[in-house]
């Protein structure tokens, strides 16, 4: 009878899964980085980012952009991207999105990049990167 109790106590005292500490909603600040877009198609200052851990990886939902899917290493490093091109609020431009960074101890730091493509001719137009930093809220 003592063995099952000891196992239950050990399992209860085990540290939380790293995935549980990463998933959640973050209030983020968008810091515009050097861009080759003139003028920059989108201006952002603050927003909300949601990290969800799935069986196959991780997703980032950066409002107002599409949800991005990818992988997350055990140390909190994230690599996500869009596999397809999306329409934008800028007439004549499409975009493909990607992000890399890390989430540790409730803090997020990600480089988020929009690769814009001219709709006419389907040719690359410019890149607009942002550094996203923020704290977990829930």
Q: What is the CATH number of the domain that holds 40?
A: 2.40.128
pLDDT for residue 20 = 59
In a domain, 113, yes or no: yes
- Domain with 55, as residue range(s), is 17-136
**pLDDT tens string 1-19:** 444 444 333 333 333 444 5
Specify the pLDDT at position 42.
Answer: 82
Distance CA 80, CA 68 (A): 6
Report, as an integer, the average pLDDT of 90-102.
93
pLDDT in tens, 39-78: 877 888 888 999 999 888 999 998 888 999 999 988 889 9
Is 81 within a domain? yes
Q: pTM for the full model?
A: 0.80
Question: Into how many domains does the chain fold?
Answer: 1
What string of DSSP letters covers the chain? Answer: -HHHHHHHHHHHHSPPPHHHHH-EEEEEEEEE---S-SS-S----EEEEEEEE-SS-EEEEETTSPPEEEEE-TTSEEEEE-SS-EE-SSTTEEEEEEEEEEEETTEEEEEEEEEEEETTTTEEEEEEEEEEEEEE--
Q: Is the pLDDT of residue 95 over 70?
A: yes
Residue 10 lies in a domain: no
Domain assignment of residue 92, yes or no = yes
């Amino acid at each position: 009878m003592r063995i099952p109790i000891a196992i239950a106590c050990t399992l209860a005292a085990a540290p939380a899964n790293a995935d549980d500490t990463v998933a959640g909603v973050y209030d983020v600040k968008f810091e515009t980085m050097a861009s080759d877009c003139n003028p920059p198609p989108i201006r952002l200052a603050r927003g909300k980012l949601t990290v969800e851990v799935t069986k196959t990886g991780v997703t980032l939902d950066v409002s107002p952009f599409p949800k991005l899917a990818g992988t997350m290493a055990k140390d909190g490093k994230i690599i996500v991207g869009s596999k397809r091109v999306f329409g934008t609020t800028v007439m004549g431009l499409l975009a493909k999105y990607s992000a890399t960074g890390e989430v540790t101890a409730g803090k997020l730091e990600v480089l988020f990049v929009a690769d814009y493509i001219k709709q006419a001719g389907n040719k690359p137009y410019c890149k607009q990167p942002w550094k996203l930093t923020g704290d977990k809220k829930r």
